[in-house]
Amino acid sequence: MTSSKQPRLGRPPASNSADTQERILAVARQSFAERGYEGTTNRLLAERAGITTGAIYHYFDSKREIYLAVDRDVGRRVFRRFREAEAGADTFVAKFEAILEVAHQMNSEDPSLARFLGAVRVDLQRHTELSEVMGVDGRLRDNAFLAAMVDHGIATGEVAPAQRELVLAFVRTVLIGLTDAVSDDLVAQRAAIDAIGALLEGSLIHPAAN
Amino acid sequence: MTSSKQPRLGRPPASNSADTQERILAVARQSFAERGYEGTTNRLLAERAGITTGAIYHYFDSKREIYLAVDRDVGRRVFRRFREAEAGADTFVAKFEAILEVAHQMNSEDPSLARFLGAVRVDLQRHTELSEVMGVDGRLRDNAFLAAMVDHGIATGEVAPAQRELVLAFVRTVLIGLTDAVSDDLVAQRAAIDAIGALLEGSLIHPAAN
Amino acid sequence: MTSSKQPRLGRPPASNSADTQERILAVARQSFAERGYEGTTNRLLAERAGITTGAIYHYFDSKREIYLAVDRDVGRRVFRRFREAEAGADTFVAKFEAILEVAHQMNSEDPSLARFLGAVRVDLQRHTELSEVMGVDGRLRDNAFLAAMVDHGIATGEVAPAQRELVLAFVRTVLIGLTDAVSDDLVAQRAAIDAIGALLEGSLIHPAAN
Amino acid sequence: MTSSKQPRLGRPPASNSADTQERILAVARQSFAERGYEGTTNRLLAERAGITTGAIYHYFDSKREIYLAVDRDVGRRVFRRFREAEAGADTFVAKFEAILEVAHQMNSEDPSLARFLGAVRVDLQRHTELSEVMGVDGRLRDNAFLAAMVDHGIATGEVAPAQRELVLAFVRTVLIGLTDAVSDDLVAQRAAIDAIGALLEGSLIHPAAN
DNA sequence: TATGAATGAGTGTTCATTCAT
DNA sequence: CATGAATGAACACTCATTCAT
């Protein structure tokens, strides 16, 4: 009668709420990173988290809510690491390089982080329902963080005040280029970071006399 | 410059078939850029092209085929402009800057081009069905083009042979950063390009004595 | 009259179990009345009763069982009041009017009663699973009660024996019309009841000579 | 290969648009009448209409739209018949009786009409999304129609001006009682109508001397 | 006595695609 | 060349119910 094959109803033995929720977040981060918001189906999340689709709604009100939760989670993690890296250096160049370095490190440890960051920009543009709710919060904080770093460069004399915006634009471009372009090719990413380091020190390009 | 007013040579105006196909391609480029592959429905394309969904299948075998056609089309256009820009300069730095400049120009003229390029990388990753068919083709050609440019830098002495890969990685990172990050903010894109120019000339960052 | 204030005899106040069950019945009556059988979810009942969905199953075997319990409860209450009203009058007309009056009164005191009665007919038709179990019971008892009242009218000479069925059909139609049509508009209900009274006394309509 | 069993894709041979739409409306009217708005599933409608669920959306934007369409359709039919019946009589009593008669007739011809009318009141109350859109329109027109009939009674002297509201409330109560209570029991409905006729002529109840 | 994690079947709706006309 | 009626598989989400704790 009660075969050991068929899954039973009711609360499964030894199931932990916080555990399941974290499992959902983890598989969601991965799937959102790989397949995007639309491409990530509840069925897929459920399968990978070892539950059924209905159970997801015990933890999150909607797919959108899952996405936002993942975004918050990723944002927090990355921001903490960035801040730590930046705090350990004292010139603008050193801070910038430290950040690139830690970005590379995180990408090695858990590629889904970087990939999610790359994907989130696209998905936010495509699904306005997401950006409306999330909005300013995370994005703005990033900008403020980078701006402070550049301002530090002005204080140390590394950056001319007049070029504040230029440097900021460059920093952003490089960071995004690194996450989007080569987040799944660690060798290329390593090369790009080294290149930027060399470039900042003036040892990458030797302008032709021309 | 390229006015759409003047009748195109001696061809009978608006041969229906070719016209419709081109209209489909144009609206598809826009929609794929804005909403991605999944987010673009046949119904939407049909509506914007002024036909019905069924009619689409007279011109393309499937949605996938439309995507590939748009990609080829965009690739060709961008490549031609890039090559022209590159040919008009004779140092590596000048070529690189010319390419950035033309990328900015194209973005001003038709934002859907840059946006599609930004989106295509994500969509290819998400829908393996697309990358399998398209595959090497376009992507590799880009790489060859950029590699040739760097090799020219080696020839002129601007780039040390040992740093070939680094420079290549940097170029790619910047190009991708520019399309993805700031393709819809022309001011920021302008700033980023200027920053790179200044950096290459050594006038952006002034390493602290420290 | 029936104050809810005075402590009910010597029983210990608020024995938890019975209290909870009654709370469930009360919120169920309201919800079934407003939203019907399908529209009433266990979650809603649980929320309004201040418990969880699982707890409901300690008191009732199923949603259906709750519905049946509410129906029995409502039936009992209404029947008691109807009987009291009827007993206090001695002609058919007076009895009928007394019943209409008490129906109006009950509707003022607790609209969920009348509304449930209006809804139950529809829900029974829609969900055969409900009527099967409940079946004859309550419905038949009502009919017997009304039939007795009409028979009394025959005894008093108010109703001709040959018109027994006609009068019964009329009484039923009016009662149902009153619960369904205007149960949430006390003014209209009042008017309808007054109209029936006048009609029975022959003072509402004055047939045209024609 | 192409077995004659499996349904083919594409447009089925000999399929007529207007025909299918009407088939959907017909089965929808029946199902909404029997099982209500919630209880009517798209799958059921599709099965009964001989199509698939997806095809429904070729004809209606949503389930709600189907409901509204059925309501409009039913409203129109009933209103036309009511008006014809009323126009053929010249006293208030005759008009009222004519209306009751035609209601009974329509119920014999197509029970789904009356049942839908009985159900619609409940479903509108339960699903505010429906009443919001439909709103005043139909309901108000009914009231205006009945009011005009009563006003005619005032003109003929059948109804005292002071009792206008009472008579109106009575008419409404009876009409609703007839649709809701006994729409599926033609014998009972016949009896109820005859009873009302007799009552209006003063031959149903003979007040006791008391 | 009650909680709340989980199930499995179901809902309305969308979509790429097919094909008779 | 084009229409538009229709399919079938998918999707996000809801619900009554179960049961370990």
Average pLDDT, integer, range A141-153: 90
Q: Is D192 on the interface with C (CB under 8 A)?
A: yes
Q: Is residue A183 over pLDDT 70? A: no
Q: Is D47 on the interface with C (CB under 8 A)?
A: no
C9 part of a folded domain: no
CB spacing of C174 vs D176 below 8 angstroms: no
Band of pLDDT at residue D7, cut at 50, 70 and 90: low
Question: What tokens does D147 get?
Answer: 């009011």
Average pLDDT, integer, range C40-58: 96
With b meaning 16 or more CB within 10 Å and e meaning fewer, what string describes D42-79?
A: beebbeebebeeeebeebbeebeebbbbbbebbbeebe
B148 part of a folded domain: yes
Asked if C18 CB < 7 A from strand E, the reply is: no
CA–CA distance from A87 to each of A84, A91, B208 (Å)?
A: 5, 10, 17
Point out the nucleotide closest to D56 (alpha carbon to C1′): F6
In the stretch 147-186 of chain A, residues with CB closer than 8 A to chain B read 153, 156-160, 163, 165-170, 172-178, 180-182
CB spacing of C160 vs D206 below 8 angstroms: yes
A208 part of a folded domain: no
Residue C174 belongs to domain spanning: 14-200
CB spacing of D180 vs C210 below 8 angstroms: no
CA of D10 to C1' of E9 (A): 30
C32 part of a folded domain: yes
Chain B residues in contact with A119 by the CB 8 A cut-off are: 122
Which residue's CA lies closest to nucleotide F10 at its C1' atom?
Answer: A41
Q: Which of A165-179, B14-28, D16-30 has the lowest mean pLDDT?
A: B14-28
Give the Cα separation of C169 and D61 in Å (integer). Answer: 43
pLDDT digits (tens, 9 = 90+) for B20-38: 999 999 999 999 999 999 9
B3 part of a folded domain: no
Q: Which bases of chain F come closer than 7 Å to a protein CB?
A: 1-21
Q: What is the CATH number of the domain that holds D38?
A: 1.10.357.10
Are C90 and C193 spatial neighbours (Cβ–Cβ below 8 Å)? no
How close D36 comes to chain C (CA, Å)? 7
Question: What tokens does C105 get?
Answer: 């009164």
pLDDT digits (tens, 9 = 90+) for A93-114: 999 999 999 999 999 999 999 8
Would you tell me how many other CB atoms lie within 10 Å of the CB of residue B42? 17
Average pLDDT, integer, range B58-80: 94
B80 part of a folded domain: yes
Q: Which of B37-41, B64-68, C167-171, D201-205 has the lowest mean pLDDT?
A: D201-205
Point out the nucleotide closest to B16 (alpha carbon to C1′): F1
pLDDT of amino acid C7 = 42
pLDDT digits (tens, 9 = 90+) for B94-146: 999 999 999 999 999 999 998 998 899 889 989 988 887 775 555 656 788 99
Which has more pLDDT, D137 or D103? D103
pLDDT digits (tens, 9 = 90+) for C14-24: 447 788 999 99
Q: Is residue D6 over pLDDT 60? A: no
CB spacing of C192 vs D176 below 8 angstroms: no
Q: Is residue D53 over pLDDT 70? A: yes
Chain A residues in contact with B174 by the CB 8 A cut-off are: 173-174, 177
Give the Cα separation of D111 and D103 in Å (integer). Answer: 10
pLDDT of amino acid C205 = 84
Q: Is residue D181 over pLDDT 70? A: no
Angle at B57 between CA B55 and CA B60, to 5 degrees: 125
Q: Is B121 on the interface with A (CB under 8 A)?
A: yes
CA of B111 to C1' of F14 (A): 42
CA–CA distance from B65 to each of B28, B44, B75, B186, D115 (Å)?
A: 11, 16, 15, 31, 52
Band of pLDDT at residue A7, cut at 50, 70 and 90: low
pLDDT of amino acid A179 = 85
Q: Is residue D35 over pLDDT 80? A: yes
Instruction: Count how many domains chain B has.
Output: 1
How close A6 comes to chain B (CA, Å)? 34
Chain D residues in contact with C201 by the CB 8 A cut-off are: 207
- Flag residues 79-118 of D with CB < 7 Å from strand E: none
CA of D56 to C1' of E14 (A): 12
C93 part of a folded domain: yes
D8 part of a folded domain: no
Q: Is residue C2 over pLDDT 50? A: no
- When the pLDDT of each residue in chain B is averaged and rounded to a whole number, the result is 87
Would you tell me how many other CB atoms lie within 10 Å of the CB of residue A209? 7
- Written as one letter, the residue type at C91 is T
CA dihedral over B153, B158, B164, B168, signed as positive or negative = negative
